[in-house]
Amino acid sequence: MTSTTTGKDRRLGKGLAALLGTEFDDTPVSDNSASAASASGIQALELPVESVLNNPFQPRREFNPDEIASLAESIKNHQQLQPILVRVVDGKYQLISGERRLRATIHAGLKTIRAEVREADDRLVAELAIIENLQRKDLSPIEKALSFKRYIDEHQCKQDDLARRLSIDRSTIANLMRLLELPQPVLDLLQAGELTAGHARALLPIGDEEVQLRTAQKLIEDQISVRGTETLVAEMLKAEEDAETGKKVVNATRQKRRQPSPHIEAMQQELRMVFGTKVEIKSSARGRGKITIHFSDADEFERLRDIMSQNTRPQLRVAG
């Protein structure tokens, strides 16, 4: 990380205004060469719009055309109030933040755009792209989750590290990234806005992908609320537990084994809803036993540890 990413530039969670230190010269600079721009930390330039390359770390996949048109009209009437942020890469200008303003400027038919040049490495650019979209215009849940995953994969860090660098709760990152465990057809419904993140999260305790998709389609067709989805999933899990219990009863009859009491089964179902993953309780006639909580990876383990370390127990929503 270069020296320009320390001090006030590291205050990512304080907002872009604090992060970028919005002190710039409104007067266009005549020397627009990339070499001159890279010679100092910050410069205000008037750049041809076609000279600005896209940000390769942009997490947003879609831009609302109506919003771009509205912003373009505002820029034509009131001019550009805030410059975009760029850096010099291989002698060319690459966008760091301000893609909506760049698109709106092009939409307005303007040939140039005011820009501020800063020195920033790939990691800082990725962080800035996430922060700008989180604070100024919310990404879709899937875009957020994918941007977090890409950052973590590319920089070989943990969710805790990213949360600390962005000054957000680790649980926010973990809960969004868990959505990526859903099958792609369900993610497509979420990205299209046919399902909300609340609906999608409620589907996670269902282990079977085909059942998750069928349930998602039912939610859309029947216009079931998030609370209704939670109730429906709880009923489905209870039915699944009952079916499993039926099999166990048959096996117990054949093998003369003691079945879990209704109380143990209820607790098992309750814990499954609490932790959002498979939970098994086994007990002996003497009252001894064990609780097994399943997890798929280290991040899932950290999420479960967070839940278990909370002072208050999460509120349950169980049908009945």
Cα(61)–Cα(50) distance, integer angstroms: 20
pLDDT band at 258 (very low <50, low <70, confident <90, very high): low
Domain of 69 in residue numbering reads as 3-127
Average pLDDT over residues 72-78: 85
Residue 38 clears pLDDT 50, i.e. is over it: no
Residue 125 clears pLDDT 90, i.e. is over it: no
Q: Which of 9-13, 143-147, 181-185, 206-210 has the lowest mean pLDDT?
A: 9-13
Please check whether residue 46 lies inside any domain of the structure.
Answer: yes
| pLDDT at site 176 | 92
| pLDDT at site 61 | 74
Please check whether residue 63 lies inside any domain of the structure.
Answer: yes
| pLDDT at site 285 | 67
For the question of residue 230 being annotated catalytic, the response is: no
Which is higher by pLDDT, 133 or 181? 181
Residue 3 clears pLDDT 60, i.e. is over it: no
| pLDDT at site 219 | 95
Please check whether residue 147 lies inside any domain of the structure.
Answer: no
pLDDT band at 19 (very low <50, low <70, confident <90, very high): very low
Please check whether residue 43 lies inside any domain of the structure.
Answer: yes
Q: Which of 93-97, 166-170, 220-224, 263-267 has the lowest mean pLDDT?
A: 263-267
Calculate the average pLDDT of the chain: 78
Q: Read off the CATH number of the domain in which 36 is found.
A: 3.90.1530.10
| pLDDT at site 249 | 59
| pLDDT at site 74 | 87
Please check whether residue 123 lies inside any domain of the structure.
Answer: yes
Distance of CA 197 to the CA centre of its chain: 10
Cα(23)–Cα(37) distance, integer angstroms: 16
Residue 26 clears pLDDT 50, i.e. is over it: no
pLDDT over 70, % of the chain: 77
Which is higher by pLDDT, 78 or 218? 218
The b/e string for 23-53 (b: 16+ C-beta within 10 A; e otherwise) is ebeeeebeebebeebbeeebbbbebebeebe
Which is higher by pLDDT, 23 or 14? 14
Average pLDDT over residues 99-125: 90
Please check whether residue 240 lies inside any domain of the structure.
Answer: no
Number of domain units in the chain: 1
The b/e string for 208-243 (b: 16+ C-beta within 10 A; e otherwise) is eeeebbebbeebeeeebebeebbbbbbebbbebeee
Residue 195 clears pLDDT 90, i.e. is over it: yes
Please check whether residue 274 lies inside any domain of the structure.
Answer: no
| pLDDT at site 318 | 46
Please check whether residue 214 lies inside any domain of the structure.
Answer: no
pLDDT tens column, 276-313 = 888 888 877 677 888 899 888 888 888 888 888 874 45
Q: What is the 3-state secondary structure (H, E, C) of 192-244?
A: CCCCCHHHHHHHCCCCCHHHHHHHHHHHHHHCCCHHHHHHHHHHHHHHHHHHH
Average pLDDT over residues 31-52: 64
| pLDDT at site 27 | 32
Write the DSSP symbol of residue 285: T
Other C-beta atoms within 10 Å of 63: how many? Answer: 14
Which is higher by pLDDT, 178 or 67? 178
The residue annotated as part of the active site, out of 50, 99, 244, 280, is: 99
